[in-house]
Amino acid sequence: MSFAKSKFKHKSLPVNDLGLTYREYEGAISTLCAGCGHDSISAAIVHACHELSIAPHSIAKMSGIGCSSKAPNYFLRNAHGFNSVHGRMPSVTTGANLANKELTYLAMSGDGDSASIGLGQFAHVVRRQLNMVYMVANNGVYGLTKGQLAATSDKGVKNKIGDLSLFNDIDLCTMALQLGASFVARCFSGDKAQLVPIIKAAIAHQGFAFIDIISPCVTFNNHVGSTRSYDYVQEHVTTGAVTDFVPIREEITSAIPEGDFEDICLHDGSIMRFHKLDPDYDTSNRLKAMNDVEEHKQRGEILTGLLYLDPTARNYHELNDTSDMPLNQVKQDLLCPGERVLGTINDSFR
């Protein structure tokens, strides 16, 4: 690219607790198509991280291969990123997380990356309860290879060149629920008001957080007949509650909203607040969540919002009883048992 983002910082830009404006949470200029849903996700991540006052360098951006996986380059330039191997982001993130449990792992994957080539790794990272935010930018199409059907394409739809999707789609939210993810949400990249608080809550959640983000592909999957186009999604999207996120440091009393709401306290003390649109909305019932997703789908609707949350779930390091100090910082004197011990070990083989 021959152009660059302006580094000019307007004095009126709001700063967060770290004294940083949102500009310091941005990344390189996007090379995705103009209007790509993924750019909206990047923008939501920028806002979520800025508003949460997370130091950008304490985040690790993980991805696989595909349009979605290029996206981490377009946010958080002061965070390390790892654009790894197609479908293998979950294992790389697992290793990175084992090595340093103090970083925040923001992972970006796509429908090909997670529902096809990486379905196995997706399933197993959910089971492992890795403390990470796993986002799928789901556009139901292969973008980088120009428009092939994806495993998340709805059965019966046609892609831009007219190929018919013959097989059942894979619903990653239902899978994540079945496999024991402790935070499962579905969002629409076009609904920033919903996406930003859910990303914030996913970051605050100290366990495996999965967000399937319907993110239309303007180039290959925005045609009439597509069930992932902007128009179609906008017309068919529905949610059980309007979600707010209240970080730990803020006085909850300062923002008493009107109407009926329910609070859920996360592990770190921050609050998720739901203004119910559906009186039966319940994020604590995993089976109901799976059922709700399916029922809406049968009605031709896309259910979005937080689907399930277990704020008490134990993550991998709690289950493994890993030392408090990140493993990549443990020094040789604690790692190497030394000469004397080796002498005893040698004796056991004589």
Partner 1 sequence: MRNSSAEHNNMENSIINDFVVKFANTNGTGSASANNMFAKAIMRMGIPVSAKNIFPSNIQGAPTWYEVRINEHNFLGRRGGKTEIIVAMNAQSFVADIEDVADGGYLLYDSSKQIPEHLIKKGIHYLGIPISTICLKEFQNPRQRQLFKNVIYVGALAALLNIEFNVLKTLISDQFKGKEKLITPNIYALELGYRYANRHFSCPLTYNVERRDLIGNRIMVDGNTGCGLGAVYGGATVVGWYPITPSTSVIEKFASYCQRLRIDPATGKKNFAIVQAEDELAAIGMAIGGGWNGARAFTATSGPGVSLMAEFLGLSYFAEIPVVLVNIQRAGPSTGMPTRTQQSDVLACAYASHGDTKHVLLFPESPCECFELTALAFDLSDRLQTAVIVMSDLDLGMNDHLSAPFIWNDKQKYDLGKVLSIRELDNIESYGRYRDIDGDGICYRTLPGTHPNKGAYFTRGTSRNQDAVYSEQSADYVHNMQRLEAKFATAANIVPKPEICSGFKNTQLGLVYYGSTAQAMLETKQLLQEQGIPVDLMRIKAFPFGNEVKKFIEQHQYIYVVEQNRDAQMRTLLSSELNLDPLKLAPILCFDGLSITATQICDDIMTDIDSRTENLTESQEVV
Q: Are 102 and 84 in contact (CB under 8 A)?
A: no
- Structure-token pair, residue 38: 């993924």
DSSP code of residue 114 = I
| 328 binds partner 1, rule: CB under 8 A | yes
Three-class secondary structure of residue 56 per DSSP = helix
Q: Are 141 and 110 in contact (CB under 8 A)?
A: no
| 7 binds partner 1, rule: CB under 8 A | no
- Give the residue among 117, 126, 68 at the shortest CA–CA distance from 94: 126
- CA–CA gap between residue 302 and residue 299 (Å, rounded): 9
Nearer to partner 1, 207 or 216 (CB): 207
Q: Which of residues 79-118 bind partner 1 (CB under 8 A)?
A: 79-85, 88, 90-100, 102-103
| 75 binds partner 1, rule: CB under 8 A | no
Which of 5, 9, 57, 299 is close enough to bind partner 1 by CB under 8 A? 57
Nearer to partner 1, 70 or 296 (CB): 70
Which of 72, 110, 197, 305 is close enough to bind partner 1 by CB under 8 A? 72
Query: Which region among 72-80, 155-163, 189-197, 303-311 touches partner 1 (by CB under 8 A)?
Result: 72-80
| 153 binds partner 1, rule: CB under 8 A | no
| 145 binds partner 1, rule: CB under 8 A | no
Buried b (16+ CB within 10 A) or exposed e, 111-136: bbbbbbbbbebbbebbebbbbbbbbb
State the minimum distance, in angstroms, from the CB of residue 165 to partner 1: 27
Q: Which backbone phi and psi does 12 adopt, to 5 degrees?
A: -85, -5
How many residues form the binding site for partner 1 (CB under 8 A)?
A: 59
| 265 binds partner 1, rule: CB under 8 A | no
State the minimum distance, in angstroms, from the CB of residue 345 to partner 1: 7
Chain centroid offset of residue 72 CA: 12
| 29 binds partner 1, rule: CB under 8 A | no
The DSSP secondary structure of 177-226, one letter per residue, reads HHTT-SEEEEEETT-HHHHHHHHHHHHHSSSEEEEEEE---TTTS-STT-
- Summarize as ranges the residues that interact with partner 1 (CB under 8 A): 24, 55-58, 60-61, 72-73, 77-85, 88, 90-100, 102-103, 120-121, 123-124, 128, 317, 320-324, 327-328, 330, 332, 334-339, 341-342, 345-346, 349-350
